[in-house]
Amino acid sequence: MDKQGKKGFRSGFVAVIGRPNAGKSTLLNTLLGQKVLIISDKPQATRNRIRCILTEERGQVIFFDTPGIHKPKHRLGEYMVAAAKSALQGVDMAVCVVDVSVPFGTGDEYVFQIVKESGIPCILALNKIDLITKEELMVKIATLSKLADFREVIPISALHSNNTAKLMDLIFEALQPGPMFFPDDVVIDQPEKFVVAELIREKLMNLTREEVPHAVAVVVENMEEKKTLIKIEAVILVERDSQKGIVIGKDGCILKEVGKLAREEIETLLDSKVFLQLWVKVKKDWRNQNTQLRDLGYNLKDLNE
Ligand SMILES: Nc1nc2c(ncn2[C@@H]2O[C@H](COP(=O)(O)OP(=O)(O)OP(=O)(O)O)[C@@H](O)[C@H]2O)c(=O)[nH]1
Ligand SMILES: [Mg+2]
On whether the CB atoms of residues 150 and 122 are closer than 8 A, the answer is yes
On whether the CB atoms of residues 287 and 74 are closer than 8 A, the answer is yes
Pick the CATH number of 192-303 from 3.30.1050.10, 3.30.300.20, 3.40.1000.10, 3.30.70.270: 3.30.300.20
Percent of the chain residues past pLDDT 70, beyond the cut: 98
Phi, psi of 226 (to 5 degrees): -100, -175
pLDDT at residue 5 in the model: 53
For ligand 1, say whether the CB of 70 is within 6 Å of any of its atoms: no
CATH (residue range 10-174):
3.40.50.300
pLDDT at residue 257 in the model: 98
Please give the average per-residue pLDDT across 152-175, as a whole number: 98
Measured in Å, residue 127 CA sits from the centre of ligand 1 at: 9
Percent of the chain residues past pLDDT 90, beyond the cut: 95
217-225 and 229-238 strand pairing = antiparallel
Measured in Å, residue 36 CA sits from the centre of ligand 2 at: 11
CA–CA separation, 97 and 150 (whole Å):
12
Q: Where in the chain is the domain with CATH 3.30.300.20?
A: 192-303
Identify the DSSP state of 162: B
Mean pLDDT of the chain: 95
pLDDT-derived band at 203 (thresholds 50, 70, 90) equals very high
Ligand sitting nearest the alpha carbon of 164: 1
Is the predicted pLDDT of residue 1 greater than 60, yes or no?
no
Measured in residues, the chain has a length of 305
For ligand 1, say whether the CB of 24 is within 6 Å of any of its atoms: yes
Please give the average per-residue pLDDT across 217-239, as a whole number: 97
CA–CA separation, 148 and 286 (whole Å):
38
Q: Which helix (H) or strand (E) holds 212?
A: helix 212-215
pLDDT at residue 2 in the model: 47
| Cα–Cα–Cα angle for 132, 133, 134, rounded to 5 degrees | 125
Nearest residue (CA) to ligand 1, atom 21: 21
For ligand 1, say whether the CB of 201 is within 6 Å of any of its atoms: no
Measured in Å, residue 146 CA sits from the centre of ligand 1 at: 24
CA–CA separation, 175 and 288 (whole Å):
40
Ligand 1: which atom is nearest the Cα of residue 20? 25
pLDDT at residue 206 in the model: 96
Is the predicted pLDDT of residue 128 greater than 90, yes or no?
yes
Q: Mind listing the pLDDT tens digit for each residue in 36-72?
A: 999 999 999 999 999 999 999 999 999 999 999 999 9
pLDDT at residue 303 in the model: 82
pLDDT at residue 299 in the model: 85
Ligand 1: which atom is nearest the Cα of residue 44? 24
Q: Mind listing the pLDDT tens digit for each residue in 68-77?
A: 999 999 999 9
CA–CA separation, 50 and 15 (whole Å):
10
Measured in Å, residue 251 CA sits from the centre of ligand 2 at: 31
* Buried/exposed code over 74-92 (b: 16+ C-beta within 10 A; e: otherwise): bbbbbbbbbbbbbbbeebb
173 CB burial (10 A radius; 0-12, 13-18, 19+): exposed
On whether the CB atoms of residues 39 and 202 are closer than 8 A, the answer is yes
For ligand 1, say whether the CB of 21 is within 6 Å of any of its atoms: yes
Phi, psi of 116 (to 5 degrees): -60, -50
229-238 and 93-99 strand pairing = unpaired
* Buried/exposed code over 198-231 (b: 16+ C-beta within 10 A; e: otherwise): bbbbbbbbbbbeeebbbbbbbbbeebeeeeeebe
Measured in Å, residue 159 CA sits from the centre of ligand 1 at: 8
Q: Where in the chain is the domain with CATH 3.40.50.300?
A: 10-174
For ligand 1, say whether the CB of 25 is within 6 Å of any of its atoms: yes
